[in-house]
Structures are given as structure tokens and as C-alpha cells.
């Protein structure tokens, strides 16, 4: 195995500052001034000095992040153990080779190979400033690994870039965690049975519509819909059939809803809808369409088809409305529809 070539002593730390800073701020020294050394520090500093390059090599091999150095021609000079684990390439396979020699072949999210166009190492050696970017490296087994790369130039005593260092770590866990969070957020806003937005989503959307109404005067209406005689079906036929009815109603409402309107499961056998850009007459037409489409549907059972109907309460937004007043008025209209014989629309 080739012995990694490391800069002697503190030169490793003689690199550029964080992104956006100028290189004249980068001259950090490991050695402290005599009057700045804390008590009992001399043995530690002496041991580090005696170890020399081996100390830095062992320190870099101890890290969980992949680290490698290149010279001005992007020839690989050092490759730590974490780089071996993250890429599948052993140190002996890469040290001495040029970075673009089909080793990492960084690619951006669009698949553009950065070794020939946009190499972070080349950029930091040109600008003298550090750079951080999310890329996809080429694993030895052929697949792409999402990594976060931090590249920084290595400067000589005159501040000239003589090489560069790259630190990288696997972003797979971060991506998976972000996807899990996104899924949890989605599940928190979706009804598990019907896959419609749930009450929380409905309330959030209602708040947004009210804000638009108050700022821009964009009209909308609210519908509250209830499956007729649902409790009777649930008691007599069981929850499996009752669930099938709810799914059928949900699909029917969703299929007859405009893309910018919202149909949600309010709870139990009740559904809500927010219909945008309508006056009272137009809202009633939408409500009647929902009612008629559900009434024209049926659930096929052995030997017969089970008819389903809904009652609908409708109300359009008014100047003084809050979410509470809107929902109360829609609920009262729904109650009225139930008492008028069901399978009808009432306006509140």
C-alpha cells in the first residue's frame, strides 16, 4: 500500500476559510504562543510534534467523513479509511491516480459529470475559497451515492493554492429521514381509510381561503355532507361494509371535484368541501352535482346493489365570517337537509 503523502505538520491546517471568506484570514497555526498555552499542555504538544505526519494520518483515519487531498493537477495524494468505506475504493487503488480517472466522477442532480465541468476541487483552487455542494459520487460497485462535499484549497506560505482537500459524507440517511418526515407530514393531513384530506387539512385550507377572501375578495363556499342512514348500515351489516361505503362516497366526490377545490373527510360518515370562486347559485349547482353523483352510484353486493345517498348543507362566505361561523352555518343547513327527508341540498 502506498504511504499517504501528507503535508508536514501544521501545513494541513493551512487551508482556506469557510465559503465566502477571503484567503488572508486563513493562516491558522496549530502551535500556540507560549503565553496562550493552558497549564499542563506542554506534554500534549510535544507528543504531537514528535508524532509528526503519523499523528495527522491517524487523526484523519479516525474520522467518519471521507477525506482526500489532491495536488494542483488533481492527483490523489491521500485517501482516508472513511473514504475507502464510502466509495469501495481502497487507498492503494487511488493514491497516485488523477481524480477524473473514473474514480469518484462526481455528478450533480441532473447527471452532469463534474470532473470535466464544474469540479469543486478545481473551483476552490482557482478562487481560493471553500465550497460546499451536494453531489452523487461513483461507488466502485457502479451505483451512485448521494454525498455532501466540502472542498477547500491548500495554500502555501505565500497564499497560493498548491492543492485541495475534500471532505465528504453519505447523505443517504439524511435523504431517508427527510422522506420519512415528509411522509409523516402527509399522513398527518390524510385520512387513512379514504385517502382524502382529513379535518386538519380542511381547517388549514379553510383558513387560507378566508385570508384570500379578506385580502382579495375571492369568494368561496363550504359544503358539509353526511351519508344517509349510515349508522343503520353500520349496525346491521358491520364496519367492513360501512368502510366500503365511505370509500365509494369519497371516490365519487373526489372524481367530481375540480382540481383547485378541496373535498375532505370531516369525521365518521361526514365529509366537507371548500369550493372556490363561486357565488351561492354556483355553490348549489356543485352541491347538487355531488348529491346526484353519489345517488347514481351503488355498492354491488351478492344478489343486489346497495344504493347510497348523501344530505348536503351549503353556505357561501360572508363579509363578517370566521371559520367558526361558516362551519356552524353549513352544519345547520345539513341538519335542515336531514330533516327534510335526506338526499337533498339545503342552503344556510
The three grid cell numbers given for residue 6, joined into one nine-digit string: 501528507
The three grid cell numbers given for residue 172, joined into one nine-digit string: 443517504
Beta-carbon contacts of 340 under 8 Å, excluding residues fewer than 6 positions away, are 346
Beta bridge partners of 76: 70
Mean pLDDT within 85-109: 86
pLDDT at 301: 82
Spatial distance between the Cα atoms of 71 and 95, rounded to a whole number of angstroms: 11
For the stretch 37-47, pLDDT in tens is 565 666 656 66
The proportion of the chain whose per-residue pLDDT surpasses 90, expressed as a percent, equals 52
Residues 100/94, Cβ–Cβ less than 8 Å: no
Domain ranges of the chain: 9-176, 189-347
pLDDT at 32: 42
CA gyration radius, the chain: 33
Mean pLDDT within 143-150: 90
- Is the whole-model pTM more than 0.75? no
> 42-51 and 53-62 helices cross at what angle (nearest 10)?
100
For the stretch 52-66, pLDDT in tens is 677 778 888 888 899
pLDDT category, 173, cuts 50, 70, 90? confident
Pick the CATH number of 9-176 from 3.50.50.60, 3.80.30.20, 3.30.70.260, 3.30.450.20: 3.30.450.20
pLDDT surpasses 90 at 221? yes
pLDDT surpasses 70 at 4? no
Computed over every residue of the chain, the mean pLDDT equals 84
Mean pLDDT within 274-297: 95
Out of 89-103, 233-247, 291-305, 333-347, the most confident range is 333-347
The three grid cell numbers given for residue 148, joined into one nine-digit string: 455532501
The closest alpha carbon to 196, from 207, 209, 187, belongs to 187
Domain covering 189-347: architecture? 2-Layer Sandwich (3.30)
Mean pLDDT within 324-345: 95
Identify the residue with better confidence: 132 or 27.
132
pLDDT category, 206, cuts 50, 70, 90? very high
pLDDT at 245: 93
Q: Read off the DSSP letter of residue 41.
A: -
Identify the residue with better confidence: 177 or 34.
177
CB-count exposure of residue 32 (10 Å: 0-12, 13-18, 19+)? exposed
User: In the chain, how many H helices and how many E strands?
Assistant: 11, 12
pLDDT surpasses 80 at 264? yes
Mean pLDDT within 167-195: 84
pLDDT surpasses 50 at 19? no
- Reading phi first (left if > 0) and then psi (alpha if -120 to 50, else beta), residue 115 is in alpha
pLDDT category, 333, cuts 50, 70, 90? very high
pLDDT surpasses 70 at 124? yes
Amino acid at each position: 500500500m502506498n504511504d499517504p503523502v501528507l503535508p508536514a505538520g501544521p501545513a494541513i491546517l493551512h487551508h482556506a476559510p469557510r465559503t465566502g471568506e477571503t484567503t488572508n484570514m486563513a493562516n491558522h497555526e496549530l502551535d500556540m504562543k507560549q503565553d496562550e498555552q493552558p497549564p499542563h499542555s506542554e506534554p500534549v504538544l510535544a507528543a504531537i510534534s514528535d508524532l509528526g505526519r503519523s499523528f495527522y494520518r491517524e487523526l484523519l483515519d479516525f474520522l467518519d467523513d471521507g477525506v482526500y487531498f489532491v495536488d494542483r493537477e488533481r492527483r490523489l495524494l491521500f485517501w482516508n479509511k472513511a473514504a475507502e468505506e464510502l466509495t469501495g475504493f481502497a487507498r492503494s487503488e487511488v493514491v497516485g491516480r488523477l481524480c477524473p480517472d473514473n474514480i469518484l466522477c462526481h455528478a450533480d442532480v441532473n447527471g452532469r459529470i463534474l470532473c470535466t465541468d464544474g469540479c469543486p476541487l478545481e473551483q476552490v483552487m482557482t478562487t481560493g475559497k471553500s465550497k460546499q455542494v451536494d453531489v452523487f459520487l461513483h461507488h466502485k460497485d457502479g451505483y451512485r451515492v448521494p454525498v455532501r462535499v466540502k472542498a477547500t484549497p491548500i495554500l502555501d506560505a505565500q497564499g497560493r493554492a498548491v492543492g485541495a482537500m475534500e471532505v465528504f459524507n453519505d447523505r443517504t440517511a439524511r435523504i431517508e429521514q427527510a422522506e420519512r418526515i415528509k411522509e409523516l407530514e402527509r399522513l398527518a393531513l390524510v385520512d387513512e381509510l379514504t385517502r382524502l384530506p382529513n379535518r386538519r387539512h380542511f381547517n388549514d385550507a379553510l383558513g387560507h381561503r378566508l385570508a384570500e377572501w379578506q385580502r382579495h375578495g375571492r369568494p368561496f363556499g363550504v359544503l358539509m355532507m353526511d351519508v344517509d342512514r349510515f349508522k343503520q348500515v353500520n349496525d346491521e351489516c358491520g364496519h367492513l361494509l360501512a368502510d366500503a361505503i365511505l370509500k365509494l362516497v369519497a371516490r365519487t366526490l373526489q372524481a367530481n371535484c375540480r382540481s383547485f377545490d378541496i373535498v375532505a373527510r370531516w369525521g365518521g360518515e361526514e365529509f366537507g368541501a371548500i369550493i372556490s370562486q363561486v357565488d351561492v347559485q354556483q355553490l348549489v349547482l356543485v352541491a347538487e352535482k355531488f348529491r346526484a353523483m353519489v345517488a347514481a352510484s351503488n355498492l354491488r353486493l351478492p344478489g343486489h346493489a346497495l344504493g347510497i345517498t348523501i344530505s348536503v348543507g351549503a353556505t357561501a362566505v360572508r363579509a363578517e365570517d370566521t371559520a367558526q361561523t361558516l362551519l356552524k352555518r353549513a352544519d345547520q343547513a345539513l341538519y335542515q337537509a336531514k330533516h327534510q327527508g335526506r338526499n337533498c341540498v339545503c342552503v344556510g
